[in-house]
Amino acid sequence: MILVQTLFWIVFVAICLHYVLFGVIVTLVSRLFKLKHKISDITPSVSFIIAAYNEERVIREKILSDLKTAYPKDKIEFIVVSDGSSDRTPEIVSEFSEQGVVSIFQPQRQGKTAALNRAVAAAKNEIIVFSDANSMFRPDAISKLVRHFADENIGGVCGRKSVLQHQDRKASIGDNLYWRYESSLKQAESHLGSIPTADGEIFALRKDLFKEVPRELINDDLVITFDILQQGKRVIYDQDAITEEEASITLKDDFNVKSRMVYGGIQVISLYKKLLNPVASWFGFQFFIHKTLRYFMWALLAAILLTNALLVGSGVFYAVFLALQLAFYLMAFIGYHLDKKGAKAGIFYLPYYYCNVNLAAFKGFLFWRKQRSTVDIWKKAQR
């Protein structure tokens, strides 16, 4: 039982480190040892790139929103790449040609990464800003992103994604809580050096640091982040540069999105083993605690449940902890059935949401094991 007990406590500490201890430590340390850099209200030339696959329902609203930016109009070009779209997305984009919006389209669908590579190759300006079709930048967001490029050591800047809360969108409460936590943690990590990964919904970088991303990789933003870091530059976070978007309408859509993202994350981990070695550098350790443990939390949860069950007769703590775990999963199961019936999950929502996220991560792991085609597993979420 000593071996089982040891394994239980190793997993217990790893889970606590991921969800609580790491965030507390990083936040406290960042207040004491904050890395400073030059910030200035500069206006470098910007190429604003929107990836849009079959986005006819939102692309008009997206373009109209972005055209309202407070950034100088003579310093920005808008590029919408809609490769493979079979709806009216390219047609709608072309309606804005007189306002300087560039449409890039080819009928062949090769995936988002290949589309972004084509868009960057066509971009003419110094700074690239990536955005998604359903992500609405606040008017001052671009200005807040680019002000950090006054410092030559800054290679990339990620802004804050704010998920709007709506009762008719079932992932909104969970996603909103997650992104608020993620924003706080990333800001602290940024103060200590670089964030583990930028978010493609609002990500600015120097064009001369961009390297073409292999099109078979899903998480282009993760690869681009690593490429910038390997060129000796920092990738930082600015929580005042904000974009807003709606959450998935159903948790099934949310499941599909998250499984795809975890698949992409594991793809990248397998390619950047040296950079991500948790014992070789602070960044590697940071990424391991922040991201790798998240991708494999399903395994830790299974391990702590199993070892706890084997230790249930070893003391009151183990019996109580097992009862709490089983109660949590029962609540998740009830939440699932309420959602399936179209009823509100109420107090069962968060356990259900949490289990949905980790089951999605497990499915993403299976995708990676089977090396599934990144185009084949892509399922469009409802808008």
Per residue in 322-375, pLDDT (tens digit) is 999 999 999 999 999 998 888 888 899 899 999 999 999 999 999 998 877 666
What is the predicted pLDDT for the residue at 374? 62
Backbone angles phi, psi at 246, to 5 degrees: -85, 150
Q: How far apart are the C-alpha atoms of 32 and 304, rounded to whole Å?
A: 35
Judged against a pLDDT cut of 60, whether residue 383 lies above it is answered with no
Residue given tokens 């540069």 in the structure block: 241
What is the predicted pLDDT for the residue at 110? 87
Give the least confident one: 24-33, 72-81, 168-177, 237-246. 168-177
Buried b (16+ CB within 10 A) or exposed e, 208-233: ebbeebebebbbbbbbbbbbbbeeeb
What is the predicted pLDDT for the residue at 371? 78
Average pLDDT, the chain: 92
Q: How far apart are the C-alpha atoms of 319 and 308, rounded to whole Å?
A: 8
Helices (H), 272-348: 282-287, 293-295, 297-310, 316-340
What is the predicted pLDDT for the residue at 249? 65
What is the predicted pLDDT for the residue at 254? 83
Judged against a pLDDT cut of 90, whether residue 231 lies above it is answered with yes
The pLDDT confidence band at residue 257, using thresholds 50, 70 and 90, is: confident
What is the predicted pLDDT for the residue at 64? 96
What is the predicted pLDDT for the residue at 339? 86
Percentage helix, strand, coil for the chain under 3-state DSSP, each rounded to 5: 55, 15, 30
What the block records as the tokens of 193 is: 């050096």
What whole-number percentage of the chain has pLDDT above 90? 80
What is the predicted pLDDT for the residue at 292? 96
- Running DSSP on this structure, what letter comes out for residue 1? -
What is the predicted pLDDT for the residue at 166? 63
Judged against a pLDDT cut of 60, whether residue 131 lies above it is answered with yes
What is the predicted pLDDT for the residue at 169? 61
What is the predicted pLDDT for the residue at 366? 94
The pLDDT confidence band at residue 378, using thresholds 50, 70 and 90, is: low
Q: How far apart are the C-alpha atoms of 122 and 114, rounded to whole Å?
A: 13
What is the predicted pLDDT for the residue at 379? 63
Judged against a pLDDT cut of 80, whether residue 82 lies above it is answered with yes
What is the predicted pLDDT for the residue at 67? 96
